[in-house]
């Protein structure tokens, strides 16, 4: 009889979904006696583009994360308001979530920092695995001085996260947790070879290429004309136009395109963008140097930045440079800092932990 996993994914950006999809895809590739049901509001198209195998989905509010004003700016007030409407224990919303989880009869719950999945697992008596490189209680406490309500919520969420049966920490993680299992970075593997992706983008094999990646939240590009005239490299910019088009040395892509993001990373010689988990992990896995922009208030930044400097290679860019296009002057320096991949990703290690739990009586 097949085992069933209820997999809860935070919809904050696409980073949590990207790494969860990498693991889910590998699990379904390994085991034909496994059924995965994804609980999330992550768009179905993203799941379908990242997982080769059939998965069931349940559209459910399982996390808020941080509400974003833009890809670089958080909104703590809106975050606190959104959290008030979540399925906290003792509410009708929690009872409804529990019914929906129980209906799929999971043998295991896995949550990529989605606390309400862990809470439901605890109420239903189902073992659970927390997958994280940070947790929201830690993040919210960084905003609690100016938004004390988030501090109160952090205390509640810490108790939820602490109830997970097992905890896996994805490198680079922010705070080491006692008893947790650390694993290497988790990234989706490319599907197409470098030359084929370049051919489809209209880029010659010997042209230097920089991919600009701002994660799952649309970003308003400025100075596209300057990117078109870039002498330093061809710039591939997802979300910069409605169609796939090469204009001078700029290749525009819609926010949602047929190009798989890991293929774009592999086709590039360097990556520039927001310091977010999935982009960092994919740059590391492909051995591409990274020019990163740090979100000034987001607590994850310093720990991740230190790891990227040490393990990925590249240089820090200022937000103003990205907006103005002045970062183009740093491209030769960035391309000279060859990235280096160190060892396999953590996908296999997580698969082993999940399978071990499913085999337990």
Share of the chain above pLDDT 90, in %: 80
Same domain, 152 and 88: yes
Same domain, 158 and 267: no
Q: CA–CA separation, 9 vs 37, rounded Å?
A: 11
Same domain, 172 and 211: no
In DSSP terms, which residues pair with 109 in a beta bridge? 6, 128
Name residues whose C-beta falls within 8 Å of residue 284's C-beta, 6 or more positions apart in sequence: 185, 187, 311, 312, 339, 341, 342
Q: Report the candidate in 2, 356, 72 with the shortest Cα–Cα distance to residue 214.
A: 72
Same domain, 238 and 283: yes
Same domain, 212 and 176: no
For the chain, give the number of residues.
Answer: 361
Contact between residue 300 and residue 250 where contact means Cβ atoms under 8 Å apart: no
Q: CA–CA separation, 345 vs 281, rounded Å?
A: 9
pLDDT of amino acid 72: 79
pLDDT of amino acid 217: 65
Same domain, 199 and 300: yes
Q: Reduced to 3 states, what is the DSSP secondary structure of residue 208?
A: coil
Q: How many structural domains comprise the chain? A: 2
Q: CA–CA separation, 50 vs 55, rounded Å?
A: 11
119-166 pLDDT per residue, tens: 999 999 999 999 999 999 999 999 999 999 999 999 999 999 999 999
98-107 pLDDT per residue, tens: 999 999 999 9
∠ CA(26), CA(30), CA(31), 5° rounding?
120
Mean pLDDT of all residues in 238-254 = 91
CATH of the domain at 162: 3.40.50.2000
286: tokens are 């492909």
Same domain, 222 and 325: yes
The CA-atom distances, in angstroms, between 264 and each of 102, 235, 249, 285 are 39, 11, 16, 13
Name residues whose C-beta falls within 8 Å of residue 145's C-beta, 6 or more positions apart in sequence: none
Q: Report the candidate in 264, 272, 275, 284 with the shortest Cα–Cα distance to residue 221.
A: 272
In DSSP terms, which residues pair with 236 in a beta bridge? 211, 251
Same domain, 276 and 138: no
163-192 pLDDT per residue, tens: 999 999 999 999 999 999 999 999 999 999
Same domain, 148 and 128: yes
Contact between residue 86 and residue 93 where contact means Cβ atoms under 8 Å apart: yes
Q: Domain of residue 241: give its range.
A: 194-336
Considering the chain, what is the average pLDDT of its residues?
93
pLDDT band at 1 (very low <50, low <70, confident <90, very high): low
């Amino acid at each position: 009889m097949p085992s069933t996993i209820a997999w809860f994914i935070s919809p904050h950006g696409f980073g949590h979904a990207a790494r969860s999809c990498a693991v889910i895809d590998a699990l379904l590739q390994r085991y034909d006696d496994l059924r995965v049901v994804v609980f999330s509001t992550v768009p179905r198209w993203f799941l379908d583009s990242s997982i080769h195998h059939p998965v069931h989905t349940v559209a459910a509010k399982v996390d808020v994360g941080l509400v974003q004003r833009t890809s670089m700016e958080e909104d703590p007030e809106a975050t606190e308001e959104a959290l008030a409407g979540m399925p906290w224990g003792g509410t009708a919303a929690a009872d409804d979530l529990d019914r929906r989880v129980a209906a799929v009869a999971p043998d295991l719950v896995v949550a990529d920092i989605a606390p309400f999945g862990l809470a439901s697992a605890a109420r239903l008596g189902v073992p659970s695995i927390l997958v994280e490189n940070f947790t929201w209680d830690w993040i919210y406490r960084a905003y609690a001085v100016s938004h004390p309500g988030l501090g109160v919520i952090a205390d509640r969420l810490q108790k939820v996260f602490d109830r997970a049966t097992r905890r896996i920490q994805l490198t680079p993680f922010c705070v080491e947790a006692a008893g947790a299992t650390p694993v290497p970075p988790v990234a989706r593997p490319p599907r197409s070879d470098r030359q084929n992706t370049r051919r489809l983008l209209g880029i010659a094999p010997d042209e230097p290429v920089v991919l600009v990646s701002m994660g799952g939240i649309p970003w308003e590009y400025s100075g596209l004309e300057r990117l078109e005239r870039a002498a330093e490299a061809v710039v591939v910019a997802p979300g910069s136009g409605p169609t796939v088009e090469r204009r001078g040395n700029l290749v525009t892509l819609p926010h949602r395109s047929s190009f798989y993001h890991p293929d774009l990373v592999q086709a590039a010689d360097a990556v520039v963008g927001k310091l977010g988990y999935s982009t960092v992990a994919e740059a590391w896995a492909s051995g591409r140097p990274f020019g990163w922009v740090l979100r000034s208030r987001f607590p994850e930044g310093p720990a991740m930045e230190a790891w990227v400097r040490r393990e990925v290679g590249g240089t820090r860019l200022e937000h103003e440079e990205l907006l103005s296009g002045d970062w183009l002057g740093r491209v030769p320096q960035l391309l000279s800092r060859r990235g280096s991949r160190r060892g396999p990703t953590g996908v296999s290690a997580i698969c082993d932990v999940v399978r071990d739990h499913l085999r337990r009586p």
